[in-house]
Chains A and B, each alone.
Chain A
Amino acid sequence: MWLSKIMKHKFTTAFTAFLSISLLSIFLYTGNAFAKNNVEEFTLENGMRVIVVTSRKVPAISHMVWYRVGAIDEPKGKSGLAHYLEHLMFKETVKLKAGEFSKIIAKNGGNDNAFTSQDYTGYYQNISVKHIETVMGLESSRMTDLNITAESILKERDVILEERSMRIDNRPSAILTEKMRKSLFENHPYSIPVIGWKEEVANLEYKDVIDFYKKHYRPDNATLVVSGDIDAKTLKPIAEKYYGSIKIPSDPIATRSKDFTNLSLRTEPTEESLKDSRVQQKEWIRFYTAPSIKTKNKDQKIMPFVVFSQIFGGGATSRIYQSFVVEDKIATSAGSYYNDMSYGPTSFSFFVTPSEKIEFAAIEKKLSEEISEVAKNGVTSDELERAKSSLIAESIYAKDGIRNMAYIYGQISALGLDIEYAENWGKMIEEVSSDDIKKAAQYLLDSKSYVTGKLLPKDKESK
């Protein structure tokens, strides 16, 4: 549903892994019982930030470069440009032919890929640590020496239109959520899908891509994150050699308008519905705008939303699963989702599949009763303990493998947060009280900034 938030370059296997990370809002936590994260940070002379996470389990690394540029930075009418450029980064450079980048990685036994979100664009290779200089050489070169032919650009546009069909237009629920985000975020760039509107993508041109590349792809707008069998002492000299030698362009770095954090959002509730012959089962969805880690005001806390979502709609033990599905049997599934890691405002979402013959109105009534109940009486200490325990454990599970940590720190860097944010995450979760959760529930109750989505089957012969 929120799949549209991050687009991936090649295949969907790795893609889902990333999503599950942001879904669970996994962060590292170093409680007393566990060793400190082996994280080190330094900055190169040209302003490029470098974060190293050491984990010696397998002699491999995940090497990532994150650019602080995403769909949010696209000029008006040029939707899909950030993602388009991400695809084109695998085409011709001064030294390489189209497609050669990935071929070299594969020949060295590595996997490579890339992803684009509203807020950032990232490129990565997972590979044996002995090939680290190969990947650094390749990745640092394409920061400045992209040399795409007009022909490559045209062909890749067709590929992206196919990608759009696969992700969105072939899937009614994706079409509906795209419409909902458009209504919810109104004038904010988040109303535009990362992959872009079909008509706009079809009209993107060579110059659009090159201008965007030159403006945003530069060392002082990027972070290098390497996790795995390496430490800062070993990495620093080679990071300096490959990335430190890149010159900063003379133009000042493009800064995002502050307004992006708080552009006018929807102020009155609205509704989007989709009736489609491909739909087999009706579904009910609601998105509220909600503060993110970057847009919260001084008095707001974000972690209560994380914990509230876990208790309220985070699985089989959650409030709404128990009341909608188990007790009242008005739905076959019910859940909520909240992701705090966003440069602009984020959303707090509910997904419900009503049981047969149950009207949407009954779902809406029950949901508001359940939120009111939490706003009034808070949650039990048992609920609070379970939610915290499972959230914090995720931060330990995330340390397994080479890629999760690189992804987590990359996201932190892309949003301009300190690495301590990850270290403190568990502590912030621990501090959430029942009163805090009351306030989070009350925030939703008071809000008129929401969109309700209804997915409906259109009559046709059943299969």
Chain B
Amino acid sequence: MKKIVLFTLLYLSALANLSHANDIDIVKSESANLEAWLVEEHSLPIISIKLAFKKSGGSYDPKSKDGLAYMMTTLMNEGAGELKGFDFQKELEKHAIHMSTDTDKDFFYISLKTLTKNKDKALELVSLALTKPRFDQDAIDRMKKQIIYLYKKRIEDPKYLASLKWNQLIYKNHPYNKRLHGTEDSINSISREDITSWFNTHINKEYLNISVVGDITKEELRNDLFTYFNDIRNKPETDIKYMESFEDFPKGTKEHIDEDNPQSIILFGLDGYKYNDKNFYPAYIMNYILGGGSFESRLMNEIREKRGLAYSVYSYMDTYEFDGSLKGIIGTKNESATEVKELLKKEFKKMLDNGVTQEEVDNAKKYITGSFALGMDTNSKLANYLVFMQAEDLGVHFLKHRNEKVNKVTLEDINNVIKELINPDDLIIITVGKK
């Protein structure tokens, strides 16, 4: 559950009009000193579980060990307790348990999906992984090779190159400029000691948020929290400090990366808001109008529909715990790159000079509120959303009030945000392609 994915989901998605809005229970195990957010859903014999560890994303990787948290995502199913990697994975497969791990700038995640009948086996395996991981040297060596391979695949992708450059330009010495997937050198420098030290620091109850959606009762979950999660370390070996909020967003930088592709990738953006900022929803609606709203958006209309200059044109609010930005990507043939960038600036200027109209705002709200629930139609998607709500401290009633928050935003709120945010001269533009 990378934040980007989450916000695509948010943007794709709502629950108020579609009102099977299930109740969220907070299930507590006093004896294990743990709680989980639960939505019971018994229509299918399946359960999804999402664990999110705060202060554990790639931005917390130790100095010159970029990619360590990411490497941990590959090691969680490589054996625990008596089970070596192959045996652990055979158990998962035999019981059709999906266990996957992920990390972003802020969090480390484990997702679990199981049939009800195999719930205990699923929890037993994840419990082993969270308490007695093996970290066998041969698995570490193998994962290093795979990560380096993936790194090389990633840097074939112009969008990835653009996003690396973005992090460098924006975040400089801030932890958000860490290389989430590492580099060949940083991955090679990671030792087994680094790995166990990461585990002892990050995998603990204090950092853990749990959400569960599916065919399980409150009582079962309460017992399971104790049975399977009580042995997780209570506290970090050494507590990690939250990083500082990022404040110093640069303005107006332009960069070009030379790549021998027929199509240029243009990554653009400027300062934005964090999710918990009062201006987030006004900005979110503004972005829907600008470039978030698919075929309704101005950028799509000007660049693709009117002129046929691109296939993919979109923008989004990219939010993390300690920074937020407005970002977008356009792919256009190299010869049109300059024209597209001019059009982009023109649209930003138009937005700054004239704001948005009431009709645009109304349409945006209709989509944003009406589609909210569509983004939560599976147990896994809802479980993802529940840990997001916990991490952002949104409260257990958020699902019911979210659409009100959107509807309360006024045209004036949005136009004020535009004055604060949208200036074509501030645009940071990174182009990857052939000049």
Contact = CB atoms under 8 A, between A and B. Distances in A.
B293 interface: yes
B46 A165 contact: no
B46 A281 contact: no
B310 interface: yes
A107 interface: yes
B334 to A, nearest CB: 9
A43 B397 CA distance: 45
Contacts of B193: none
B179 to A, nearest CB: 13
B374 A127 contact: yes
A326 B95 CA distance: 23
Interface string B82-123: 000110011001111010000000000000010101000000
B12 A108 contact: no
B307 A155 contact: yes
B319 interface: no
Interface stretch (A96-104, A142-150, A294-302): A96-104
A332 B146 contact: yes
A108 B14 CA distance: 12
B149 A333 contact: yes
Nearest to A99: B295
A172 B17 contact: no
Contact of B378 (A34, A316, A400): A400
A281 B374 contact: no
A325 interface: yes
Interface string A395-439: 011011111000000000000000000000000000000000000
Interface in B175-204: none
B272 interface: no
B18 interface: yes
B115 A13 contact: no
The number of chain A residues touching the other chain, given as a range, is: 35 or more
Interface in A322-342: 322, 325-326, 329, 332-333
A285 B373 CA distance: 41
A59 B20 contact: yes
B338 interface: no
A281 B150 CA distance: 9
B86 A322 contact: yes
Interface residues of B, number: 75
Given A59-B19, A280-B156, A396-B44, A162 B263 contact: yes
Contact of B43 (A33, A56, A165): A56
A155 B308 CA distance: 5
Given A170-B261, A396-B46, A326 B333 contact: no
Interface stretch (B124-132, B221-229, B341-349, B363-371): B363-371
A281 B331 contact: no
B142 interface: yes
B90 A386 contact: yes
Nearest to B8: A13
Interface string A88-131: 00100000001100110011111100000000000000111000
B262 A317 contact: no
B363 A106 contact: yes
A34 B45 contact: yes
Contacts of A111: 12, 371, 374
A169 B261 contact: yes
Interface string A276-301: 01111100000000000000000000
B304 A159 contact: yes
26 contacts: A11-B312, A58-B20, A99-B305, A109-B367, A109-B369, A110-B371, A127-B374, A154-B308, A158-B308, A159-B308, A162-B311, A162-B333, A163-B311, A166-B312, A171-B157, A172-B156, A280-B155, A281-B153, A316-B77, A317-B86, A317-B89, A329-B142, A355-B145, A390-B96, A400-B379, A401-B381
The list of the 7 closest CB pairs from A to B, nearest first, reads: A109-B370, A393-B96, A158-B308, A280-B152, A165-B263, A163-B311, A155-B308
Interface of B: 8, 12, 14, 17-20, 41, 43-46, 77, 85-86, 89-90, 93-96, 98, 113, 115, 117, 138, 142, 145-146, 148-149, 152-153, 155-158, 259-263, 293-296, 301, 304-312, 314, 331-333, 363, 366-367, 369-374, 376-381
Given A12-B312, A396-B44, 15 more contacts: A127-B374, A162-B311, A169-B262, A278-B156, A280-B155, A281-B149, A316-B77, A316-B89, A317-B86, A325-B142, A333-B146, A386-B93, A390-B94, A393-B115, A397-B113
